[in-house]
Protein backbone atom coordinates (compact mmCIF):
# COMPACT_ATOMS: atom_id res chain seq x y z
CA UNK A 1 0.00 0.00 0.00
CA UNK A 2 1.36 3.38 -0.98
CA UNK A 3 1.59 5.99 1.78
CA UNK A 4 1.45 9.06 -0.46
CA UNK A 5 -1.10 10.21 -2.98
CA UNK A 6 -0.98 10.45 -6.77
CA UNK A 7 -2.55 13.54 -8.33
CA UNK A 8 -4.48 12.81 -11.54
CA UNK A 9 -5.02 15.89 -13.71
CA UNK A 10 -7.31 15.61 -16.75
CA UNK A 11 -10.37 17.54 -17.91
CA UNK A 12 -12.00 14.43 -19.44
CA UNK A 13 -14.07 12.69 -16.73
CA UNK A 14 -13.99 9.34 -18.55
CA UNK A 15 -10.19 9.31 -18.73
CA UNK A 16 -9.94 10.41 -15.08
CA UNK A 17 -12.20 7.52 -14.08
CA UNK A 18 -10.15 5.00 -16.09
CA UNK A 19 -6.88 6.20 -14.52
CA UNK A 20 -8.25 6.36 -10.99
CA UNK A 21 -9.81 2.89 -11.25
CA UNK A 22 -6.49 1.45 -12.47
CA UNK A 23 -4.58 3.19 -9.67
CA UNK A 24 -7.07 2.00 -7.07
CA UNK A 25 -6.74 -1.62 -8.27
CA UNK A 26 -2.97 -1.26 -7.86
CA UNK A 27 -3.50 0.00 -4.25
CA UNK A 28 -2.49 3.61 -4.95
CA UNK A 29 -4.40 6.45 -3.32
CA UNK A 30 -5.24 9.40 -5.54
CA UNK A 31 -6.70 12.88 -5.80
CA UNK A 32 -8.05 14.49 -8.96
CA UNK A 33 -7.88 17.93 -10.57
CA UNK A 34 -9.77 19.03 -13.67
CA UNK A 35 -7.67 22.01 -14.78
CA UNK A 36 -4.21 23.50 -14.45
CA UNK A 37 -4.97 25.97 -11.66
CA UNK A 38 -6.62 23.29 -9.53
CA UNK A 39 -3.61 21.05 -10.17
CA UNK A 40 -1.18 23.67 -8.86
CA UNK A 41 -3.39 24.36 -5.84
CA UNK A 42 -3.64 20.68 -4.91
CA UNK A 43 0.05 20.02 -5.57
CA UNK A 44 0.97 22.73 -3.05
CA UNK A 45 -1.68 21.54 -0.61
CA UNK A 46 -0.75 17.88 -0.13
CA UNK A 47 2.62 17.29 -1.85
CA UNK A 48 1.74 14.37 -4.16
CA UNK A 49 4.09 11.44 -4.69
CA UNK A 50 3.58 11.77 -8.47
CA UNK A 51 1.42 13.74 -10.90
CA UNK A 52 -0.29 12.19 -13.92
CA UNK A 53 -0.71 15.34 -16.01
CA UNK A 54 -2.67 15.80 -19.22
CA UNK A 55 -1.03 18.25 -21.63
CA UNK A 56 -4.25 19.40 -23.31
CA UNK A 57 -5.88 21.15 -20.38
CA UNK A 58 -8.06 24.24 -20.87
CA UNK A 59 -6.65 27.67 -19.95
CA UNK A 60 -3.44 26.64 -18.16
CA UNK A 61 -2.20 23.60 -20.10
CA UNK A 62 -0.05 20.76 -18.79
CA UNK A 63 3.19 22.22 -20.11
CA UNK A 64 2.54 25.48 -18.24
CA UNK A 65 1.67 23.54 -15.09
CA UNK A 66 4.97 21.68 -15.39
CA UNK A 67 6.88 24.96 -15.84
CA UNK A 68 5.30 26.38 -12.68
CA UNK A 69 5.96 23.22 -10.67
CA UNK A 70 9.60 22.97 -11.73
CA UNK A 71 10.33 26.40 -10.27
CA UNK A 72 9.93 24.99 -6.76
CA UNK A 73 9.37 21.23 -6.95
CA UNK A 74 10.97 18.04 -8.29
CA UNK A 75 7.73 16.02 -7.96
CA UNK A 76 7.70 13.23 -10.57
CA UNK A 77 5.47 14.01 -13.56
CA UNK A 78 3.99 11.57 -16.07
CA UNK A 79 2.56 13.43 -19.06
CA UNK A 80 -0.54 12.32 -20.97
CA UNK A 81 -1.19 13.60 -24.48
CA UNK A 82 -3.65 12.94 -27.30
CA UNK A 83 -0.88 13.85 -29.75
CA UNK A 84 1.91 11.49 -30.73
CA UNK A 85 4.24 14.15 -32.12
CA UNK A 86 7.90 13.68 -31.21
CA UNK A 87 8.32 17.41 -30.56
CA UNK A 88 5.63 17.24 -27.85
CA UNK A 89 7.47 14.42 -26.08
CA UNK A 90 10.77 16.26 -26.33
CA UNK A 91 9.32 19.53 -25.00
CA UNK A 92 7.67 17.72 -22.10
CA UNK A 93 10.86 15.90 -21.15
CA UNK A 94 12.98 19.03 -21.48
CA UNK A 95 10.62 20.80 -19.08
CA UNK A 96 11.43 18.12 -16.52
CA UNK A 97 8.80 15.40 -16.99
CA UNK A 98 9.83 11.85 -16.13
CA UNK A 99 7.79 9.97 -18.71
CA UNK A 100 5.19 10.43 -21.46
CA UNK A 101 2.16 8.32 -22.41
CA UNK A 102 0.10 8.86 -25.54
CA UNK A 103 -3.69 8.51 -25.59
CA UNK A 104 -5.29 6.05 -26.06
CA UNK A 105 -3.23 4.15 -23.52
CA UNK A 106 -3.33 0.85 -21.68
CA UNK A 107 -4.28 1.44 -18.02
CA UNK A 108 -1.99 -1.44 -17.02
CA UNK A 109 0.95 0.13 -18.85
CA UNK A 110 0.25 3.50 -17.23
CA UNK A 111 0.24 1.91 -13.77
CA UNK A 112 3.48 0.08 -14.62
CA UNK A 113 5.09 3.38 -15.61
CA UNK A 114 3.82 5.03 -12.42
CA UNK A 115 5.37 2.22 -10.38
CA UNK A 116 8.66 2.46 -12.28
CA UNK A 117 8.90 6.22 -11.69
CA UNK A 118 8.12 5.89 -7.99
CA UNK A 119 10.80 3.23 -7.58
CA UNK A 120 13.35 5.69 -8.94
CA UNK A 121 12.31 8.30 -6.37
CA UNK A 122 11.90 8.12 -2.61
CA UNK A 123 9.67 5.06 -2.82
CA UNK A 124 12.67 3.09 -4.05
CA UNK A 125 14.58 1.07 -1.49
CA UNK A 126 18.03 2.64 -1.10
CA UNK A 127 21.07 0.80 -2.37
CA UNK A 128 22.54 -0.73 0.82
CA UNK A 129 26.07 0.02 -0.40
CA UNK A 130 25.33 3.60 -1.49
CA UNK A 131 25.60 5.07 2.02
CA UNK A 132 29.19 3.87 2.35
CA UNK A 133 30.35 4.44 -1.22
CA UNK A 134 32.74 7.29 -1.94
CA UNK A 135 31.31 10.16 -4.00
CA UNK A 136 31.97 9.95 -7.73
CA UNK A 137 34.11 12.87 -8.89
CA UNK A 138 35.46 14.38 -12.08
CA UNK A 139 37.01 17.83 -12.04
CA UNK A 140 34.57 20.26 -10.45
CA UNK A 141 31.70 17.74 -10.54
CA UNK A 142 30.80 15.35 -7.73
CA UNK A 143 27.89 12.94 -7.21
CA UNK A 144 27.09 11.22 -3.92
CA UNK A 145 24.76 8.22 -4.29
CA UNK A 146 24.15 7.95 -0.58
CA UNK A 147 22.86 11.49 -0.13
CA UNK A 148 21.61 11.80 -3.74
CA UNK A 149 23.60 15.04 -3.94
CA UNK A 150 25.16 16.50 -7.09
CA UNK A 151 27.52 19.47 -6.83
CA UNK A 152 29.58 21.66 -9.14
CA UNK A 153 32.32 22.89 -6.82
CA UNK A 154 30.22 24.17 -3.88
CA UNK A 155 27.00 24.66 -5.86
CA UNK A 156 24.27 22.03 -5.45
CA UNK A 157 22.53 20.97 -8.66
CA UNK A 158 18.98 19.59 -8.49
CA UNK A 159 18.43 16.71 -10.91
CA UNK A 160 15.42 14.50 -11.47
CA UNK A 161 15.78 10.83 -10.55
CA UNK A 162 16.41 9.81 -14.17
CA UNK A 163 18.93 12.62 -14.72
CA UNK A 164 20.74 11.53 -11.55
CA UNK A 165 20.94 7.91 -12.76
CA UNK A 166 22.23 8.96 -16.19
CA UNK A 167 24.93 11.16 -14.68
CA UNK A 168 25.85 8.41 -12.21
CA UNK A 169 26.23 6.00 -15.12
CA UNK A 170 28.62 8.35 -16.90
CA UNK A 171 30.58 9.23 -13.76
CA UNK A 172 30.85 5.59 -12.77
CA UNK A 173 32.96 4.81 -15.85
CA UNK A 174 34.36 8.17 -16.96
CA UNK A 175 36.54 6.86 -19.80
CA UNK A 176 33.80 4.81 -21.46
CA UNK A 177 31.66 5.97 -24.39
CA UNK A 178 28.10 4.82 -23.68
CA UNK A 179 25.58 4.12 -26.41
CA UNK A 180 22.05 5.38 -25.90
CA UNK A 181 20.94 1.79 -25.34
CA UNK A 182 23.52 1.33 -22.56
CA UNK A 183 22.39 4.57 -20.91
CA UNK A 184 18.78 3.41 -21.17
CA UNK A 185 19.68 0.13 -19.49
CA UNK A 186 21.49 1.97 -16.69
CA UNK A 187 18.87 4.63 -16.03
CA UNK A 188 15.64 2.71 -16.71
CA UNK A 189 16.03 -0.49 -14.72
CA UNK A 190 12.37 -1.47 -14.92
CA UNK A 191 12.27 -2.84 -18.49
CA UNK A 192 9.92 -0.08 -19.65
CA UNK A 193 10.18 0.78 -23.35
CA UNK A 194 11.61 4.27 -23.81
CA UNK A 195 12.72 5.90 -27.04
CA UNK A 196 16.41 6.71 -27.27
CA UNK A 197 15.29 10.26 -28.10
CA UNK A 198 14.27 10.44 -24.46
CA UNK A 199 17.93 10.09 -23.48
CA UNK A 200 18.85 13.01 -25.75
CA UNK A 201 16.28 15.17 -23.95
CA UNK A 202 17.58 14.18 -20.52
CA UNK A 203 21.18 14.81 -21.61
CA UNK A 204 20.19 18.32 -22.72
CA UNK A 205 18.62 18.92 -19.32
CA UNK A 206 21.71 17.66 -17.49
CA UNK A 207 24.00 19.85 -19.59
CA UNK A 208 21.84 22.92 -19.04
CA UNK A 209 21.64 22.45 -15.26
CA UNK A 210 25.36 21.77 -14.84
CA UNK A 211 26.26 24.66 -17.15
CA UNK A 212 24.13 27.03 -15.06
CA UNK A 213 26.16 25.92 -12.05
CA UNK A 214 29.46 26.61 -13.84
CA UNK A 215 30.31 23.32 -15.56
CA UNK A 216 29.56 23.46 -19.28
CA UNK A 217 31.72 20.53 -20.41
CA UNK A 218 30.24 17.71 -18.32
CA UNK A 219 28.88 15.52 -21.12
CA UNK A 220 30.50 15.03 -24.51
CA UNK A 221 28.74 13.72 -27.61
CA UNK A 222 30.63 11.10 -29.59
CA UNK A 223 28.93 11.30 -32.97
CA UNK A 224 27.63 8.02 -34.27
CA UNK A 225 28.19 6.30 -30.92
CA UNK A 226 26.72 8.07 -27.90
CA UNK A 227 27.95 10.03 -24.89
CA UNK A 228 30.80 10.10 -22.39
CA UNK A 229 31.76 12.15 -19.39
CA UNK A 230 33.64 15.36 -20.20
CA UNK A 231 36.60 16.84 -18.29
CA UNK A 232 34.34 18.93 -16.01
CA UNK A 233 37.01 21.59 -15.64
CA UNK A 234 35.06 24.74 -16.46
CA UNK A 235 34.37 25.97 -12.94
CA UNK A 236 37.86 25.03 -11.78
CA UNK A 237 39.41 26.93 -14.68
CA UNK A 238 37.31 30.00 -14.01
CA UNK A 239 38.31 30.03 -10.34
CA UNK A 240 42.02 29.81 -11.16
CA UNK A 241 41.97 32.59 -13.80
pLDDT digits (tens, 9 = 90+) for 106-162: 999 999 989 888 887 764 444 545 544 678 999 999 999 888 899 999 899 988 878
| Helix (H) or strand (E) run with residue 240 in it | helix 234-240
Cβ atoms of 183 and 199 within 8 Å: the answer is: yes
pLDDT > 70? residue 239: no
pLDDT of 54 strictly over 60: yes
Q: How far apart are CA 192 and CA 112, in angstroms?
A: 8
* Per-residue pLDDT, 100: 85
Predicted confidence at residue 139, as pLDDT, reads: 92
According to DSSP, the β-strands at 29-33 and 77-81 are unpaired
Q: How far apart are the first and last CA of the chain?
A: 55
Q: What is the mean pLDDT of residues 50-65?
A: 91
CA distance 144 to 164: 10
Instruction: Please tell me the predicted confidence (pLDDT) of residue 6.
Output: 95
Say what the pTM is. 0.59
Residue 198 has pLDDT above 90, yes or no: no
CA distance 31 to 46: 10
Q: To which H or E segment does residue 13 belong?
A: helix 13-25
Strand partners, 138: 141
207 or 100, which is more confident? 207
Please give the C-alpha separations between residue 216 and each of 190, 220, 233, in angstroms, as whole numbers: 31, 10, 9
Q: Reply yes or no on whether the pLDDT at 77 is more than 70.
A: yes
Amino acid sequence: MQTRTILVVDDDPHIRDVICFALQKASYSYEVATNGKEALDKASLFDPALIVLDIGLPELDGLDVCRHLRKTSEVPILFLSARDEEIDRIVGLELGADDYVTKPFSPRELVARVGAILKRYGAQRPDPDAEFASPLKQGCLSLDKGSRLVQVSDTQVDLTAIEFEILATLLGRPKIVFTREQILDGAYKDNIHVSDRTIDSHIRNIRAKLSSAGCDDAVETVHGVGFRLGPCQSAVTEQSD
